Structure 1
Amino acid sequence: MRDIKSTAGMWMRASAVVAVLAAGQVNAQNKPVPAFDKSSIDNSFKPCQDFDNYANGGWKKHNPIPGTESRWGAFNVLDKENKEVRLKGIINTITTKKNLVKGSEEQQIADFYKSYLDVATIEKLGLTPIQPYLLQIDAINNVQEWWKTAAELSKIGITNIFGVYVDADALDSKMNAVYGGQDGLSLGERSYYERQDESTQNVRKEFEQHVNKMFSLANWKDANPGKTVLDFETKLALLQLTNVELRDPVKTYNKVGVGELKTLAPDLDWLSYLSINGIKTDSVILQDKPYLGKVNNLLTSSDINTLKTYLRWQVLTHFAGALPAKFDTENFHFFATVMRGTKAQKPRLERAIRATDANLGMPLGKLFAEKYFPSSSKAKVSEMIENVRTVYGERIDQLTWMSDATKKEAHKKLAAFTYKIGYPDKWKDYSSINISANNLVQNLVNTALYNHNEAIAKVGKPVDKSEWLMTPQTVNAYYNPLNNEVVFPAGILQPPFFNPNADDAINYGGIIAVIGHEFTHGFDDQGSQYDANGNLQNWWTESDRKNFDALANRYIEYFNGIEALPGFKINGALTIGENIADLGGLTLAYYALEKSLKGKPAPALIDGHNWQQRFFLGWAQVWHANITDAALRNQIQTDPHAPARDRINGPLPHLVEFEHAWKCGPSDKMVLPAAQRVVIW
């Protein structure tokens, strides 16, 4: 399902290596939360055979996936709490106020929320709000006009075959530059268009039927629109790099002068494309230079009616959730039910909260942070971060596969790490966004245009390193290699990650492992290619890089052997960055905990578990989850994170500390022979 959100055609690059990190249960009354709920344990499983089901089997049995979800776990529970309880309370308070000042954040939040709930007006307007864009498409006569129209539509977030975004120049991370690359696939990833297994073929069949249904609901007369769009997107998909190839920051950095764009794709008017988007630049950094020529040939060899049908589809699917119920319902059926196995839509009220958050997340985040994240928490998390930094430095010194020369550079990068905690120190001004209470589509357009214009205003200017790429209420964390920074929003700094009621072992398995995870992203397969200043520059000796790659390749092969569903194995090359970060985060957190206990009496048993065991239980509980088969298939094909179960069980056999904690034997499934274990950081 595509959430209603304002995404400018000028994407903000996902330069941050984002780890989707689950968080544990809290409650609306803010009552103390148990450090570890022993009812989650299922003693019918043995920890050395299947740690996930041992630690979480009880929880899984008593927490089936709600009909409105495709997965249900600690992440979802806390996200629901943040959005549907905390943000709901904030929004409800605002909407009761009278005479809100036009352009104020409160007015924008209240009126956007009201526009989503104004179903009567949405039904009355029908397709009228998107008619101007449809008329633009109707007027297209040739490829050149199609290209310019696609450029116009990209400003309001409507996908086409080429996308541009603004981010720090990877070779000069202090300055912003324009990037360009592949886009335009409704199914999200190339594998959906080329896999021949029955379930993926069924997705394509359902997609074709979905497009046909949407066009029928709109009373459009395009011939065989489903087949037309699927065939076109299949050709497009086969021109694109795979999601694994896109992970290589060196191969996907190709700076060209604006004049060279014409040489690469001679039938496309690049000066007009950039001008329409308001971009003033003398160069563009391309993901894949050959892609432009391939796209040029695809467009010029395609029937103009095919291209118009594709563009109509992109407009319709982009706005579907803001249109009358028949479009919204059909959109949900395919993108939520078919693609992810979600059975029922959330109530409109809850979707209104989430839509408001998706479009006005920072203004809402300011209010969220004021109410739910005390300034005292920043100091505590800062202390934790510094503890992890210290242990990471000690781990670097102990590495046997890395030379002193490279260790020196690794220490330099580690020392240069910066961090952000909770919420931004300064807030953007959103007052120029015109939000009304009775036109949802126009509100989406206006927020998209704001994001677009805000992005292009950065081109050629110094990077604002204080900027956040996540809202404070987000249950997540990230590492940004271009800033060499780790970022922890307030939304994730709650139980069990940051739980003052938990014992140290549980907290170290939670928040400290998260901090270690994000630090390790700076030294994973991608992050390790950026230096202390955030520039894409090699700081390794040749032999050390070979050693690192050899270890990473062993870990790739290890995960390649894990079958998450029949016929669907984890893609070790796609998930390697997150897998390295999980392994590193666990290792750092364990030794940070051990270091904190030196010279102190051994912690007492709790519920029969020693501190080592509680540490691993702490890790397991933040990942407990149930997931539909459809969502799991989608995750395996598109997500750089391994499934939750394998983020628990996957790294543990490589940790001798886990084997010792649970007194596992050499024949147990959760144990690997010493020669097969991978230790990177």
Structure 2
Amino acid sequence: MKKNNAVKLPLLAAMVTFAACNSGSTQQHQEASTDTAKVPAFNLADIDTAYKACDDFDNYVNGGWKKNNPIPSTESRWGAFGILDKQNKEVRLKSIIAELTSKTDLKKGTEEQQIADYYTSFLDTATIEKRGITPLKPYLDKIDAIKTLADWAAVTGELQKIGVSTFTGFGADADAKDSKMNVLYQGQSGLSLGEKSYYMQQDSATKNVRDEFVKHVDKMFTLAGFPEKNAGTTILGLETGLAKIQLTNVELRDPVKTYNRAAFSELKTLAPDFDWDAFAQKQDIKTDTLVLQNKGYLTNAGKLLKATPIDILKTYTKWQLLSSFAGYLPKAFDEENFHFFGTVMTGKKAQKTRAERAIRSTDGKLGMPLGKLFAKKYFPESSKEKVSQMIENVRSVYGERIDKLTWMSDSTKQMAHKKLASFTYKIGYPDKWKDYSSIQVDKGTLLENAISAILYDHHENIAKIGKPVDKSEWGMTPQTVNAYYNPLNNEVVFPAGILQPPFYNPNADDAINYGGIIAVIGHEFTHGFDDQGSQFDADGNLKNWWTKTDRENFDKLTKRYINYFSNIEALPGVKINGALTIGENVADLGGLTLAYYALKKSFEGKEEPKPIDGFTWQQRFFLGWGQVWHGNITDAALRQQIQTDPHSPARDRINGPLPHLKEFQEAWGCQPGSKMSLPDAERVVIW
């Protein structure tokens, strides 16, 4: 339940909460997944006619749904993504795991044995209670033995291997300037609250989070029997010091400024008092070169660490270890961990059942082995063909849109076409599966099982340094309800998990599906041309392919869109960070535009579809967009999203781009001056 505060590497694939479609005929779908009932294209009961489409499209389309679907006590937000995720995990994965755990002859080291025994170990609360924090003792002993900053560097390096954060971290990925080869990246890390604004902002809500954090740390130390006094205040003080010198989440979006190739030895010049050799050796890292995220941070962090008493660093490291594995410890730790990271941070009222969490934990640690079984049972090979056709449809329309641009020169258009033609895509699940047999899993050792899976991931990642990139690799499991664009591979990826209603519905009319799945595909394509993706060429290298004037024109358009979203109030006194969300906002605007004209193009030479339920095809297109994003969210989760997430809130992903689309105003007959309409001079049209 602890918020992920993993190292923020600058150029990893952009995981975006928007994705692709299901496919194949209804018959094929039923053969692959017999648990899926026929889903209506659009439920008219979801509409709330107390609202007007031209004033608040979200509440018009989804007002009825919101009233009838309150947030469950175990969730901080509830919508199409969460509901489908619950179906995938708590129904489909559950059935797979139940079948495996019923068997008594599973061979040691097989994926089936790993899945079954990991799940069983998570449910064995009697053993977990009996063992207490004993599984952490070997690591705690090493922390207690620290006497110098050099000792601390070695121990934190060893803890990095098992996912325990400190002020910085390493990870391998494709070299942004030589995308065929992997390189080691360094990035800032170590903030328990996830982002520096939580340490800096002085509003009452953020201050309350910090106060609750101090209480949370103190209680966790008390539960563990640790002797340190005022640990919460101590840790908040150190993390605040780190936060002050870290880059903001907006600054981290700049792939040029965060790419600083250097010799490994330069680390010793930037922060000479930290033992970089020991830190790297404990992680089995051997390299002469790496890419630094921000040299200034390393220098300032080195000075901060040198000035910090070693006992404070030890207390901080104990906290990071305890917090990282709280969910695998006895009930008291687990519940306190949920209280802070679940209730205080996101507004959840109750934890999921132990069995539900066992499924999700198994999925988190053994996601790909589970994904192999999921894909086999729920996603037929034939589905890939339909999705491929949709992707090529979007590619074709995108090319036409590029040709019609008035703000881009012919020479840059030529390069844009080259990049568009070079886009590759992955659908459903990997073509080849890795060997996970080295992960050690036993029924009575939950925490050790988790560590073994983490170590597998660490060694696999570190082994890539200096090796050619394997472009067949996936950054998401097949059961994931999401999709992503990876600028380093110039690829879009659509897992099987999201290729289902409401994103794609084989029983729906084309307009609904184009407003859903095709807009999703267009969204991912547009990421290749957003504020970050546009800085990478057709080969996935960080390289300028624009003329100076064209880049200035693009930046002017995105600046206007940044200002537009920055004026949207998500909560009283809390506005969207337009600079943080610009990539996703541009992708939404582009995805909608591409999908609309792809739908229109599909009707060429055919009779225009007749209205359904009183709605024209143009209106149903936007109904499809609206229902993909229907959702409710707690104020705490919404506040956290505004501060940390590059995606705008769901209601603003619905309403936000629509005033910029003349097609929306024409579809719904919106008059000038309506809230969902803008004068032509104020519209932002990028792609």
TM-score of the two chains, using structure 1 as the length reference: 0.98
**Whole-angstrom CA distance in 2 between matches of 1:636 and 1:593:** 33
Kept after mapping to 1: 8 A contact 2:11/2:176: no
Q: Residue 531 of structure 2 aligns with which residue? A: 525
Question: Residue deviations 1:453-476, cap 9 Å, x none?
Answer: 111111100000000000000000
Q: 1:304 aligns with which of 285, 305, 310?
A: 310
Q: Which amino acid in 2 is paired with 1:135?
A: D
- Does residue 459 (structure 1) correspond to residue 465 (structure 2)? The answer is yes
Q: 1:20 aligns with which of 13, 17, 20?
A: 17
Q: 2:176 aligns with which of 167, 170, 179?
A: 170
Q: Residue 416 of structure 1 aligns with which residue? A: 422
Match of 2:185, SS state, is strand
Q: Residue 367 of structure 1 aligns with which residue? A: 373
Q: Residue 47 of structure 2 aligns with which residue? A: 41
Higher mean alpha-carbon deviation, 214-223 vs 80-89, is at 214-223
Question: Residue deviations 1:345-371, cap 9 Å, x none?
Answer: 000000000000000000000000001
**Whole-angstrom CA distance in 2 between matches of 1:35 and 1:310:** 52
Q: Which amino acid in 2 is paired with 1:138?
A: D
- Does residue 183 (structure 1) correspond to residue 189 (structure 2)? The answer is yes
Question: Residue deviations 1:114-166, cap 9 Å, x none?
Answer: 01000000000001000111000000011111111100100000000111110
Over 6 Å off, 4+ runs: 9-14, 22-28
The 5 Å alignment of 1:192-271 reads 192-271=198-277
Q: Residue 2 of structure 1 aligns with which residue? A: 2
Closer/same/farther in 2, CA of residues 479 and 620 from structure 1, 3 Å limit: same
Q: Which amino acid in 1 is paired with 2:246?
A: Q
**Whole-angstrom CA distance in 1 between matches of 2:14 and 2:655:** 22
Instruction: Give the count of matched residue pairs.
Output: 678
**Whole-angstrom CA distance in 2 between matches of 1:602 and 1:2:** 52
Q: Residue 25 of structure 2 aligns with which residue? A: none
- Does residue 106 (structure 1) correspond to residue 116 (structure 2)? The answer is no
TM-score of the two chains, using structure 2 as the length reference: 0.97
Q: Which amino acid in 2 is paired with 1:115?
A: S
The 5 Å alignment of 1:465-480 reads 465-480=471-486
Q: Which amino acid in 2 is paired with 1:17?
A: A
Q: 1:484 aligns with which of 486, 490, 494?
A: 490
Q: Residue 79 of structure 1 aligns with which residue? A: 85
Q: 1:502 aligns with which of 508, 511, 515?
A: 508
Closer/same/farther in 2, CA of residues 76 and 526 from structure 1, 3 Å limit: same
Kept after mapping to 2: 8 A contact 1:22/1:623: no
Q: Residue 69 of structure 1 aligns with which residue? A: 75
Deviation at 1:498, TM superposition (A): 1.8
Higher mean alpha-carbon deviation, 16-25 vs 406-415, is at 16-25
Q: Residue 542 of structure 2 aligns with which residue? A: 536
Residue identity over aligned pairs, in percent, reads: 68
Q: Residue 610 of structure 2 aligns with which residue? A: 604
Match of 1:675, SS state, is helix
Question: Residue deviations 1:87-129, cap 9 Å, x none?
Answer: 0000000001112111000000000000100000000000100
Kept after mapping to 2: 8 A contact 1:180/1:285: yes
Q: 2:294 aligns with which of 283, 288, 295?
A: 288
**Whole-angstrom CA distance in 2 between matches of 1:393 and 1:592:** 11
**Whole-angstrom CA distance in 2 between matches of 1:497 and 1:184:** 36
**Whole-angstrom CA distance in 1 between matches of 2:128 and 2:608:** 63
**Whole-angstrom CA distance in 2 between matches of 1:222 and 1:390:** 63
Deviation at 1:514, TM superposition (A): 0.4
Q: 1:643 aligns with which of 640, 643, 649?
A: 649
Kept after mapping to 1: 8 A contact 2:20/2:517: no
- Does residue 328 (structure 1) correspond to residue 325 (structure 2)? The answer is no
Structure 2 portions without partners, runs of 5+? 23-28
Deviation at 1:29, TM superposition (A): 3.5
Match of 2:265, SS state, is helix
**Whole-angstrom CA distance in 2 between matches of 1:16 and 1:470:** 10
**Whole-angstrom CA distance in 2 between matches of 1:39 and 1:405:** 50
Match of 1:69, SS state, is coil
- Does residue 437 (structure 1) correspond to residue 443 (structure 2)? The answer is yes
The 5 Å alignment of 1:566-581 reads 566-581=572-587
Q: Residue 674 of structure 2 aligns with which residue? A: 668
Deviation at 1:181, TM superposition (A): 1.1
Kept after mapping to 2: 8 A contact 1:22/1:76: no
Deviation at 1:302, TM superposition (A): 0.5
**Whole-angstrom CA distance in 1 between matches of 2:34 and 2:241:** 50
Q: Which amino acid in 1 is paired with 2:204?
A: E
**Whole-angstrom CA distance in 2 between matches of 1:150 and 1:273:** 7
Q: Which amino acid in 1 is paired with 2:564?
A: Y
Q: Residue 397 of structure 2 aligns with which residue? A: 391
Closer/same/farther in 2, CA of residues 65 and 10 from structure 1, 3 Å limit: closer
Kept after mapping to 2: 8 A contact 1:166/1:178: yes
Question: Residue deviations 1:283-316, cap 9 Å, x none?
Answer: 1101101111111111110011111110000000
Structure 1 portions without partners, runs of 5+? none
Deviation at 1:678, TM superposition (A): 0.2
Q: Which amino acid in 1 is paired with 2:123?
A: L
Aligned-CA RMSD value: 1.5
Kept after mapping to 2: 8 A contact 1:23/1:75: no
Kept after mapping to 2: 8 A contact 1:155/1:452: yes
**Whole-angstrom CA distance in 2 between matches of 1:266 and 1:203:** 35
Kept after mapping to 2: 8 A contact 1:24/1:74: no
**Whole-angstrom CA distance in 2 between matches of 1:663 and 1:520:** 28
**Whole-angstrom CA distance in 2 between matches of 1:275 and 1:210:** 33
Kept after mapping to 1: 8 A contact 2:7/2:189: no
Match of 1:238, SS state, is helix
